[in-house]
Amino acid sequence: MPKTVLIVEDNDLNMKLFSDLLEAHGYATLKTASGVEAMEIARAHRPDLILMDIQLPEVSGLEVTKWLKQDEELKTIPVIAVTAFAMKGDEERIREGGCEAYLSKPISVAKFLETVRNYLDAA
């Protein structure tokens, strides 16, 4: 059974990039552009990893991460922030917000895959 990755991303093109990359490597993907929906999907499908965009409509990815980490059953799922917020201090703030890893956009495909693999192989 392939490992499942939940991608939370509101930009269609970036969503396509991440899902194509992951699927090409044999991972199953779940997709949503909404933070609220991400919580529901996480509860229903228990993904092995979550890729989290930070700027989202309605609630921010940081807020969704907080909900995830407060949830007894979901808090063990690793969250990798993949965001275009790449100013000084952004990585610290996002890691403090509960994300296990931080990748800034534009991503390096190699580093992206390596990070994903790290968390999925460890799980």
Q: Is 102 helix (H, G, I), strand (E, B) or coil?
A: strand
Q: Please, are residues 2 and 26 in contact by the beta-carbon 8 Å criterion?
A: yes
Query: Which residues does 13 contact at the CB level (< 8 Å), separation at least 6?
Result: none
Q: Is 68 helix (H, G, I), strand (E, B) or coil?
A: helix
Beta carbon of residue 74, minimum distance to another protein (angstroms, whole number): 20
Binding site for another protein (CB under 8 A): 10-11, 13-14, 16-17, 20-21, 24, 54-63, 84-87, 93, 104-109
Nearer to another protein, 88 or 122 (CB): 88
Nearer to another protein, 20 or 114 (CB): 20
Nearer to another protein, 55 or 76 (CB): 55
- The helix (H) or strand (E) run that includes residue 80 is strand 79-83
Beta carbon of residue 118, minimum distance to another protein (angstroms, whole number): 18
Beta carbon of residue 48, minimum distance to another protein (angstroms, whole number): 21
Beta carbon of residue 63, minimum distance to another protein (angstroms, whole number): 8
Nearer to another protein, 72 or 88 (CB): 88
Q: Please, are residues 9 and 15 in contact by the beta-carbon 8 Å criterion?
A: yes
φ, ψ of residue 78 to 5 degrees: the values are -70, 140
